[in-house]
Structure 1
């Protein structure tokens, strides 16, 4: 997830024409991975919005509501964002939140256990 965020940032910084696609793909991937972590049944990407906001959808497909309300609100905000700078500003805290919920991650936290031979 951190790598996905980093790739999305690179896409934004390079002002690439596919940034919006990459951003929404990152959101979908994040939702799927976090949902899997929370043991939420897989929701097709075209139904995610309805799953999060429509109680009739939950009843129709016999689904339980998404278990993390804070993530849900952050995610819905990120989905609706249309300004590219603010899109990135929505994605970064969302990824950080999910990584924290999943036990944390620090890109600079790696240690080499075996001696380096040169």
Structure 2
């Protein structure tokens, strides 16, 4: 667990160094997604908890990045992340619904009720 904490913090600091050099808003937003997935994969490859690694990475970035960026770039980043979160929530509920459709018949009791 401690390895994931350290790795997430170090990778977050490295991303902040990289983010200071990015000026194009499209590249900056894409790099946020790419870097997050790379942190997950790296945490997994190192035998660390990828969830803890990504959470510490995100917390490290979230404390500093909004203060450094320009306002118009923050607005665009938040808009993109809001859409991504909405899509992921919809996908999660659709997958849960599909799974429930397959699972409910198995839960029926002897009189046909759940």
TM-score over 0.5 for the pair: no
TM-score (norm 1): 0.28
TM-score (norm 2): 0.28
Normalized per residue, the structure richer in helix is: 2
Bigger Cα Rg: 2
The one of the two structures with greater contact order (alpha-carbon pairs below 8 A, sep at least 6) is 2
